[in-house]
Amino acid sequence: MLIFIRPQATAAQRAELRHALAAEGARGPMGTLPLGAGDVIGVEAAPLTAAARERIAALPAVARVVPVAAPYKLASRAASATPSSVRIGAVVIGGGGVPPVIAGPCSVENEDQIVEAAQAAKDAGAVMLRGGAFKPRTSPYTFQGLGISGLRLLARAREVTGLPVVTEVMEPNLVDVVAEYADMLQIGARNMQNYALLVAAGHAGKPILLKRGPSSTIEEWLLAAEYILATGNPQVVMCERGIRSFDPLTRNVLDVAAVPLLRTLTHLPVVVDPSHGTGRRDLVVPMALAGVAAGADGVIVEMHPQPDAAMSDAAQTITPAALREIITGTRAIAAALGRISAPDTPKEHSQRHARVR
Ligand code: PEP
Ligand code: MN
């Protein structure tokens, strides 16, 4: 169930509520999440008797109690009357308008490469830079990323272009250092169910891009988001990046249906990653546009000035020219679907997302 707290509730009344919940047998983090009009707490109703629920609802801190059948509570549609949006600098993911496009290489390789990629991303109309400094590689013999020096290079690319940066954090004890450099933390597909990492990242207070595990159900993915939300951090963006299939012709299958399905289940914004979602450069543009047509709030793609030379994920990495196609197509689709009145020019687009930090 969701317990909506009265905005006027005092600290003592809130403490009384948390105390009463624990005394009545509620389990879980019981963190308050600031959403829209006020704070909300999510708990599983099952351990509480009907009488206990009534006693909770009658406490002075409580505005209303809403039952939620799904195991995720704060991530559910019931938690927020309106779709939530997440702000990263001047970029807004969710809440309508032209879906922002995030682009950059799979890995940060050196200063020239990341600065050139960032500049190419910006010139094409992307509003945010991606790039991994800590890389979760399937084989221990492949490039593992530059680590902390890669974070410094991302900061340098941001300084040059003004684009905010999203980068992956793989371990709870690295959250602080990654958060020091990044504007948004990425939780990778392989770590979607690393609960200690989800909690640590949530506490960093930065926006989080939560990738779907390659074999995870949508419910498991939403429960992973719930771990972050329960730390009191509402800034979660879901990222559909493809799930495993039997077919070796693609690396993963981008679950486009997950986009409108999530819309019915959660208020959280959702973006698509057609790069990992297909593993093939030739499929990235059409699948990016398919994701936007399905209602995605944004797109994240791997782009490199020399895709064939990329040190990781070269086969799925697109050129700056292909990125331009995605951005033009995204605007046209947003206009066709009535999300904006007319496609804005690349200049208007980047002005709307101009960085204010
Ligand atoms: C990445 O973004 O480079 C990455 C490793 O993604 P995923 O976690 O989706 O595989
Ligand atoms: Mn990659």
Nearest CA to ligand 1 atom 1: 106
Instruction: Give the model's pLDDT for residue 37.
Output: 74
Q: Which has the closest alpha carbon to 221: 185, 256, 188? A: 188
As residues whose CB is below 5 A from the ion ligand 2, the structure lists 106, 313
pLDDT digits (tens, 9 = 90+) for 125-143: 999 999 999 999 999 999 9
**What mean pLDDT comes out for the span 195-215?**
98
Instruction: Give the model's pLDDT for residue 221.
Output: 98
**Closest approach atom of ligand 1 to CA 300:** 2
pLDDT digits (tens, 9 = 90+) for 70-117: 999 999 999 998 999 999 999 999 989 999 999 999 999 999 999 999
pLDDT digits (tens, 9 = 90+) for 27-70: 988 889 998 778 999 999 999 999 999 999 999 999 999 999 99
**What mean pLDDT comes out for the span 169-194?**
98
- Answer yes or no: are the C-beta atoms of 122 and 149 closer than 8 Å: no
Looking at every residue in the chain, the average pLDDT score rounds to 95
What is the C-alpha separation between 310 and 319, in angstroms, rounded?
11
**What mean pLDDT comes out for the span 232-236?**
97
pLDDT surpassing 80 at residue 353? no
Nearest CA to ligand 1 atom 9: 189
pLDDT digits (tens, 9 = 90+) for 235-279: 999 999 999 999 999 999 999 999 999 999 999 999 999 999 999
| Ligand 1 pocket residues where CB is under 6 Å | 106, 132, 136, 188-190, 211, 241, 276
Instruction: Give the model's pLDDT for residue 30.
Output: 86
CA angle (332, 335, 338) in 5-degree steps = 150
pLDDT surpassing 50 at residue 356? no
Q: Sign of the C-alpha dihedral, residues 49, 54, 58, 62? A: positive
Instruction: Give the model's pLDDT for residue 350.
Output: 67
pLDDT digits (tens, 9 = 90+) for 287-345: 999 999 999 999 999 999 999 999 999 999 999 999 999 999 999 999 999 988 766 66
Nearest CA to ligand 1 atom 3: 106
> Phi and psi (nearest 5°) for 326?
-65, -45
The percentage of residues in the chain with a pLDDT greater than 70, rounded to a whole number, is 96
**Closest approach atom of ligand 1 to CA 190:** 8
Instruction: Give the model's pLDDT for residue 56.
Output: 97
What is the C-alpha separation between 75 and 135, in angstroms, rounded?
28
Report CA(46)–ligand 2 centroid distance (Å): 41
